[in-house]
Chains A and B, each alone.
Chain A
């Protein structure tokens, strides 16, 4: 039953509560996501729903009567994941705490890489999609609008954005620790998602000898190839180029592994003394984890790069705390007004 009082709930799983393997299993394909959205819209116990999915979280924002189980069941069904495990690993925020979480999420404070800005774009996209389906109740509409304002406030009035270390700069620094100067290194980018693009551009700006690009969507590959002056490799053939590559960036949305350890081992036989640096930035992962055990192969996941980027934040605890406190105050104020008065 839809609550007759203002209610705002967030139910989800993220890097904070679930290991990578679970997040990989929960990563929804477009079809699964559509199925979840439809199921939530058709359920009379749920009023409106915004499904937010990033590489490190899946969340449902909705108005409930306090029962998270209804959302968990739909999520488990859509992702074909055991609901029992989901119950153990999920989080559920309500009311003011949920608003506070959304505000922090929009400002990048809940991201694995603290302070990143990509999450705001993902929130806006999820909100717009829900809005276009006309499934958004006024309260969710207002709270999302307030979250966007809060994120803007955090960027302009706190130091959270200062000295932000991007994924690209971390990737470049790691590559330099392996290869030194990058002018003689060859790079292959598989997938043209936001993270892959940013990393490829950072490496291109450091003058890598050659950037090759591949992906399922040729238009996106061409666009990125123009940006970084790279060459295009057919998606069916990219594994054959592995032995020529020093830096491999995998950032696809593929639901299963693209690169197995035995393939990398075979490629390394042709270049045993030359290291191979693999950045698997995809969730679910593109590269088999056993690849990291191979001699002269350095495998880094998105989580590893985010942890390195967050190392730089250790010296800026006060900035993060000030931002979090400011957002919490704004969340309290927002919820008091939304819950107390009539909705516009």
Chain B
């Protein structure tokens, strides 16, 4: 367990190193080295994956049983998406932003030992569908996180162009058309993953409606519907540009708060005996 924790610390530390190094390059008015940054982030990703794998093996399921593991999983998901999609774009800056976000989400819970003190063992209940539901939901959070990152990059670039700024960082950012395309694709992918996760969760909710609270269900569906709404609005071109980017950022912050609320609800409520439980998104909780 200790080795796993160290590995889960080493991954985000390497993400932070990559983000700091890139920032140093930019302050020195130099383009960050793509190979070096990608190498550091990839090493971090391997260590992070190994840590989560060890933790998963130890607990006998997907390691998302407490706030520490949840944040680690989201941090890992952001890096996973970046590692596989980043090279398509001008990834140095995307890497910088996403590495910074992954580092924050990975290191923040490490600073709060209480988040990892208790853990519901066997919460998956041996059901691979529930595990898939929870893992997909958190993976979609990773993509939403990356979407919020690219949305912030869009807002930086857009603001710079509006204010006629010619900073070095702005020159290294992708164009606003590329960022808008990237945002739409990430939103489509995240909505797809999240919807699949919700569909699986719904099957279990229909079979046992009393197993989760309405508050939890309402928050989860609210996040899902909100993302679906901005996806449809963007698809119909009623929402675009700055408003679309702001929607992505604000909705991710709301989704993180919702995650927190759901987690609080889960830890506060006494688990029903023999119920299959998972921490998020309408999955029934139990012992």
Complex: how many Å from CA A307 to CA B240? 30
- Cβ of A93 within 8 Å of any chain B Cβ, yes or no, is no
B86 at the interface (CB under 8 A from A): no
Chain B hits for A180, CB < 8 A: 174-175, 177-178
Are the CB atoms of A298 and B240 closer together than 8 Å? no
Report whether B170 and A177 are in contact in the complex, using a CB–CB cutoff of 8 Å. yes
Contacts of A173 in B (CB 8 A): 171
Q: How far is the CA of A298 from the CA of B162 in the complex (A)?
A: 7
B161 within 8 Å of A (CB atoms) = yes
Residue A267 lies at the interface, judged by CB distance under 8 Å to chain B? no
| Contact A275-B176, Cβ < 8 Å, known A177-B157, A177-B171, A295-B241 | yes
By a CB distance below 8 angstroms, the chain B residues around A176 are: 175
| Neighbour of B166 across the interface among A178, A296, A311, CB < 8 A | A311
- Whether B166 contacts A273 by the Cβ 8 Å rule is no
B242 at the interface (CB under 8 A from A): yes
Q: CB-defined interface of A293-328 with B at 8 Å, one 1/0 digit per residue? A: 001101010001001100100000000000000000
Please name all residues of chain B whose beta carbon is closer than 8 Å to the beta carbon of A304 when the two chains form the complex.
164
Distance A308 CA – B174 CA, assembled complex (angstroms)? 19
* Chain A interface residue count, Cβ-Cβ cutoff 8 angstroms: 19
A-B contact count (CB 8 A): 43
Against B, the Cβ 8 Å flags (1 = close, 0 = not) of A261-298 are 00000000000111100000000000000000001101
B69 at the interface (CB under 8 A from A): no
Which residues 147-179 in B have Cβ within 8 Å of A in the complex?
157, 160-162, 164, 166, 170-171, 173-178
Interface contact B164-A273, CB-CB below 8 Å: no
| A91 contacts the other chain (CB 8 A) | no
**Residue pair A273, B241 in contact (C-beta under 8 Å):** yes
The answer to the question of A148 belonging to the interface, with a C-beta cut-off of 8 Å to chain B, is no
Question: How distant is the Cα of A53 from the Cα of B165 in the complex, in angstroms?
Answer: 29
Neighbour of A179 across the interface among B162, B175, B237, B240, CB < 8 A: B175
Residue picked from A177, A178, A179, A308, most chain B C-beta under 10 Å: A177
Does B131 lie at the interface of the complex (its beta carbon under 8 Å from any beta carbon of A)?
Answer: no
Q: Which B residue sits closest to A246, measured CB to CB?
A: B177
Q: Are B180 and A273 in contact (CB under 8 A)?
A: yes
Q: Once the chains are docked, how many angstroms separate the CA of A300 from the CA of B164?
A: 8
Chain B interface, number of residues (Cβ within 8 angstroms) = 19
Docked pose: A192 CA to B241 CA in angstroms = 32
Q: Are B241 and A178 neighbours in the complex by a CB distance under 8 Å?
A: no
For B166, the chain A residues whose CB sits under 8 A away are 308, 311
A178 contacts which chain B residues (CB < 8 A)?
Answer: 161, 175-177
* CB neighbors of A among B63-88 (8 A): none
Q: Which of B202-241 contact A (CB under 8 A)?
A: 237, 240-241
* Chain B, residue nearest A296 (CB): B241
Min CB–CB distance B231 → chain A (angstroms): 14
Point out the residues of chain B lying under 8 angstroms from A307, CB to CB. 164
Alpha-carbon gap, A173 to B160, bound state (A): 13
Q: How far is the CA of A177 from the CA of B171 in the complex (A)?
A: 7
Asked if A308 and B164 make an inter-chain contact with CB atoms under 8 angstroms apart, the answer reads yes
Complexed CA–CA distance, A179 and B157 (Å): 12
- Chain B residues closer than 8 Å to A298, beta-carbon distance: 161-162
Shortest distance between the CB of A228 and any CB in chain B (Å): 22
The distance from the CB of B188 to the nearest CB of chain A, in whole angstroms, is: 15
Considering only residues 44-77 of chain A, those with a C-beta below 8 Å from chain B are none
**Cβ of A207 to closest chain B Cβ, rounded Å:** 15
Q: CB-CB < 8 A to B160: which residues of A?
A: 177
Whole-angstrom distance between the Cβ of B177 and the nearest chain A Cβ: 5
Q: Which residue of A lies closest to B175 (CB)?
A: A180
A90 to B242 alpha-carbon distance, docked (Å): 43
Identity of the chain B residue whose Cβ is nearest the Cβ of A295 in the assembled complex: B241
User: In the complex where A298-B161, A304-B164, A308-B166 touch, is A179 in contact with B241 (Cβ < 8 A)?
Assistant: no
The residues of A that contact B170 with a CB separation of less than 8 Å are 177
Q: A117 to B27, alpha carbons, bound, how many Å?
A: 33
- A301 — nearest CB in chain B belongs to which residue? B164
Residues of A within 8 A of B171 (CB): 173, 177
Residue of B nearest to A180 (CB): B175
> In the complex the two chains form, is A272's CB within 8 Å of B237's CB?
yes
- Nearest CB to that of A173 among chain B residues? B171
For A275, what are the chain B residues with a Cβ–Cβ distance below 8 Å?
176-177, 241
Contacts of B178 in A (CB 8 A): 180
Determine the residue in chain A with the shortest Cβ distance to B89: A180
Whether the pair B175, A177 counts as a contact (CB closer than 8 A) is yes
Q: How far is the CA of A179 from the CA of B242 in the complex (A)?
A: 15
Task: Give Cα distance in the complex from A295 to B173, angstroms.
Answer: 21
Chain A residue nearest to B164 in the complex (CB): A304
**Contact A272 B157, beta carbon cutoff 8 Å:** no
User: Taking the nearest CB of chain B, how far is it from the CB of A242, in angstroms?
Assistant: 18
| Bound Cα distance A298, B177 (Å) | 13
Measured between C-beta atoms, what is the minimum distance from A271 to chain B in Å?
9
Q: Which 8 A-B pairs have the closest CB atoms?
A: A180-B175, A273-B240, A180-B178, A304-B164, A273-B237, A179-B177, A308-B166, A296-B241
A-B contact pairs, 30 of them (CB 8 A): A174-B161, A177-B157, A177-B160, A177-B161, A177-B171, A177-B173, A177-B175, A178-B175, A179-B175, A179-B177, A180-B174, A180-B175, A272-B237, A272-B240, A273-B180, A273-B237, A274-B177, A275-B176, A275-B177, A295-B241, A295-B242, A296-B240, A296-B241, A298-B161, A298-B162, A300-B164, A304-B164, A307-B164, A308-B164, A311-B166
User: A177-B160, A178-B161 provided; 19 other pairs, C-beta below 8 A?
Assistant: A173-B171, A174-B161, A176-B175, A177-B161, A177-B173, A177-B176, A178-B175, A178-B176, A178-B177, A272-B240, A273-B240, A273-B241, A275-B176, A296-B240, A296-B241, A298-B161, A298-B162, A304-B164, A311-B166
